Amino acid sequence: MAKLAIHADRGASEGSRFPAHPVDGLAGTSFKHQHITSILEDQAAKRGFFEVHAENYMGAGGPPHAALTRIRQDYPVSLHGVCMSIGGPQPLDKAHLGRFAGLIERYEPALVSEHLAWSTHDTTYYNDLLPLPYTEATLRRVADHIDEVQATIRRPILLENPSTYLLFKESTMSETAFIRELVRRTGCGLLLDVNNVFVSAANHGFSALEYLADYPLEHVGEIHLAGHTEQEDDEGDLLLIDSHDGPVADAVWTLFDIVIGRCGPLPTLVEWDSAIPDWPVLKAEAIAAQAILDRHAGAFLRGKSHARG
């Protein structure tokens, strides 16, 4: 458990710029600048946390840093990297990794995460989380990249499972086996995106529950929830799109409840990145997640205290 990247005690060290603000057991939301006034006025919202996409704060100064600094004073923050391209074969962008490390030092985030995906090839940045084959060769390369990130930022990351729409013919192992082996080789933690599991299960015709049964839940340090939309594949069957533009689906809430029942009240983040609603709508999603966390918290903590002695 010591390897898990829930650093609730971080930020209390000497020279810290911000309060520690533990994130354990809390539900939070994406932080969107248009909500900052509502958030700061909303005293009832004091319990929770906010997640930001790291790249949006890689400019030198200006309103983004002013807003994040203000939020970080009152709340735990989760720093979610989107473009490290850990899942690509080419070397990581050292300048980008340096900027990522700089943000961690500056904001002392409670959680730090990145994606099992790639977005840059040669010098072109594709601005999407692109999929990779699951083979022995990609496993070695991705593990090397995670090692490099963790060595640079001097803490473990939480690696997020992708939502995917297609498969690679050359893949030789399952996504869960791939992720389990990455955890074993690198000591990274996991960000379990329950919506991504649901979306991928629907798109590839497997059971989300079987995926979760095979997934190393004991290494999960954060949960993601989000909305998805529906399209059709070439055969006219349902194809789900991880769109982050609406409320969390009922089926995803049900899966989340099952996961929390097994893992306990993990920090849970509701993502909403497009067609962003007013703050009360987004907050309502976090309140719904918090209710599920709280419902499981008592029983789980009692059980854990026995198990841990």
Partner 1 sequence: MRAAREVLSATAGGLGYPERFVPALLDPGRATPALVAGPKGKAANKRFNVYRNNVTVSLIDALAAAFPATMRITGETFFRAMARFHVRETPPTSPLLFEYGRDFPAFIERYEYAQSMPWLSDVARIERAWLDAYHAADAPVLPPHALTSFPAETLGDAVFDAHPSTRLVCSAYPAVTIFSANRESGPVGRIEVRQPESALITRPALEVEVRRLPPGADAFLCSLLSAESFGSAAATASARCPEFDLANAIIVMLGAGAFTAIRHGG
Picking from 47, 49, 57, 59, the residue whose alpha carbon sits closest to that of residue 104 is 57
> Least CB distance from residue 2 to partner 1, whole Å?
32
The residues that bridge with 120 in the sheet, in sequence order, are 125
Rule CB under 8 A: say whether 91 interacts with partner 1.
Answer: no
Q: How far apart are CA 184 and CA 180, in angstroms?
A: 6
Binding letters toward partner 1, positions 248-267, x by CB under 8 A: --------------------
Q: Among residue numbers 54 through 83, which ones bind partner 1 (CB under 8 A)?
A: 55-56, 58-66, 82-83
What CA–CA distances, in Å, run from 126 to 109, 118, 205, 271? 27, 9, 27, 21
- 30, 78, 113, 138: residue in contact with partner 1 (rule CB under 8 A): 138
Q: Which of residues 168-207 bind partner 1 (CB under 8 A)?
A: 168-170, 203-206
CB of 116 to partner 1, least distance (A): 14
Shortest distance, CB of residue 51 to partner 1, whole angstroms? Answer: 18
- Is 216 a binding residue for partner 1 by CB under 8 A? The answer is no
Residue 93 binding partner 1, by CB under 8 A: yes
Cβ–Cβ under 8 Å, residues 240 and 202: yes
Q: Tell me the β-bridge partners of 142.
A: none
Work out how close the CB of 84 gets to partner 1 at its nearest, in angstroms, rounded to a whole number: 8
Rounded to a whole number of angstroms, the minimum distance from the CB of residue 288 to partner 1 is 27
In the complex with partner 1, the residue whose CB is nearer, 36 or 179, is: 36
User: Which residue among 17, 47, 137, 281 contacts partner 1 (CB under 8 A)?
Assistant: 137
| DSSP secondary structure string for all residues of 38-102 | HHHH-GGGGS-EEEEEGGGG-SSSSHHHHHHHHHHHHS-EEEE-----TTSSSPP-HHHHHHHHH
Asked if residue 162 binds partner 1 (CB under 8 A), the reply is: no
**Dihedral sign from CA coordinates of 243, 180, 114, 265:** positive
Q: Is the dihedral of CA 198, 202, 203, 204 positive or negative?
A: positive
**116 membership: H or E segment, kind and range:** none
The full DSSP string for 236-259 is S-EEEE----SPPPHHHHHHHHHH
One character per residue 30-59, x = contact with partner 1 (rule: CB under 8 A): -------------------------xx-xx
Q: Contacts with partner 1: how many residues (CB under 8 A)? A: 56
Strands (E), 90-157: 111-115, 118-121, 124-130
Q: Which of residues 270-299 bind partner 1 (CB under 8 A)?
A: none
Which residues bind to partner 1, rule: CB under 8 A? 55-56, 58-66, 82-83, 85, 88-90, 93, 96, 118-121, 123-128, 130-133, 135-138, 141, 165-170, 203-206, 231-235, 237, 239, 241
